[in-house]
Amino acid sequence: MANTGTKGDKVFHAVVFAAALSIILIVAAVIAVMFQSAIPSMERFGIGFLFGREWKPAQEEFGALPFIFGTVTSSVIALILSIPVSLGIAIFLVEQAPKKLARPIAFMVELLAAIPSVVYGLWGIFVLAPLIREYIGPFLQTYVGFLPIFQGRITGIGMLTAGIILALMITPIITSVVRDVLEAVPHTQREAALALGATKWETTMIVLGNASSGIAGAVVLGLGRAVGETMAVTMVIGNSPQIVASLFEPANTIASLLAANFAEATDEMYLSALIEIGLVLFLVTFIINAFAKLLILSVASKTNAAKQG
């Protein structure tokens, strides 16, 4: 009996160990396979690949800069729009709303994260894009049209639309992490501020100060999601590899370049260039996510220390 026990333990351990190992192997394989496929492109274009402004597959000219520009710009727009709203919701849920109200609201915000990307894209094409073409765009041009970013023709499809859709998609993610970090702030911090005659909002600022690195982690996590978001962006950004100031103009991101062109890339160098740019996206999101995780973890250890001290 004891014998079968140890033997059984060994088999059991081996099976679950193999499963755990498979996760590491998958990531290693992703890196290895993509790196190998990207070699022709890397050898041919070198580091200049990242700074080239032209993307002309027919002439075998591949520059990634317009896509990097589009990815960064759309993600920054998303963050600018999403951060205040996400913080606002999280503060409302943790600091203000009664529990009975906070739970269903939190759940509804989480449902936003469950809606598939392609659905956001569909909604973006047929609801948001016309809204921007008819109302939001003209409104912005009337009042802040002197800014280069709000000049030019408004088609509704372009950088701004992509940024807004991305903002909607990352808001539930940032909100949920910020909510967790705010809840982890010891209640004594709020009491200390209140006892000094702080208003509700002044107390909230103390809480935010306590949670600052966790909030940074939440934002970085949202950034990681925005950078890698594919379908919704592909559907509304216009897929045009150009670097222009106007946010109403079409643009393109790394992820949407891949989604729109990968299936047609039959030429070896074209495929290799696409995979190289995919590898860049992979490494960037990997680093962003790792960084976010470290920031969020640091909060957990800090609040534990505060509770003990």
- Judged by CB under 8 A, the chain residues 173 through 202 that form the site for another protein are 175, 186, 188-202
Told to check if 230 binds another protein by CB under 8 A, we report yes
Told to check if 304 binds another protein by CB under 8 A, we report no
**From 13-21, 40-48, 56-64, 72-80, span contacting another protein (CB under 8 A):** 13-21
In the region spanning residues 253 to 272, those forming contacts with another protein, defined by CB under 8 A, are 255, 258-259, 262-263
Q: Cβ(57)–Cβ(241) under 8 Å?
A: no
**From 40-48, 58-66, 135-143, 168-176, span contacting another protein (CB under 8 A):** 168-176
Tell me the C-alpha distance between 276 and 41, whole Å: 7
Helix axes 268-308, 212-228, angle to 10 degrees: 160
- Minimum Å gap between C-beta 184 and another protein is 13
Q: Cβ(206)–Cβ(239) under 8 Å?
A: no
- Minimum Å gap between C-beta 149 and another protein is 23
Choose between 15 and 47: whose C-beta lies nearer to another protein: 15
Q: How far is CA 195 from CA 58, 91, 92, 200, 203, in A?
A: 70, 20, 21, 11, 10
Closest residue by Cα to residue 163 from 79, 260, 282:
79
Contacting another protein (CB under 8 A), which of 63, 66, 214, 224?
Answer: 224
Size of the site for another protein (CB under 8 A): 111
Contacting another protein (CB under 8 A), which of 43, 47, 58, 84?
Answer: 84
In the region spanning residues 20 to 39, those forming contacts with another protein, defined by CB under 8 A, are 20-24, 26-27, 29-30, 33-34, 37
Choose between 59 and 208: whose C-beta lies nearer to another protein: 208
**From 44-52, 73-81, 92-100, 145-153, span contacting another protein (CB under 8 A):** 92-100
Contacting another protein (CB under 8 A), which of 73, 75, 161, 171?
Answer: 171
Told to check if 227 binds another protein by CB under 8 A, we report yes
248 Cβ contact partners less than 8 Å away, ≥ 6 residues apart: 132, 137, 150, 151, 152, 153, 154, 155, 158, 159, 160
Q: HSE, CB side, 13 Å, CA atoms: give it for residue 238.
A: 22
- Minimum Å gap between C-beta 192 and another protein is 4
Choose between 226 and 247: whose C-beta lies nearer to another protein: 226
Tell me the C-alpha distance between 131 and 186, whole Å: 43
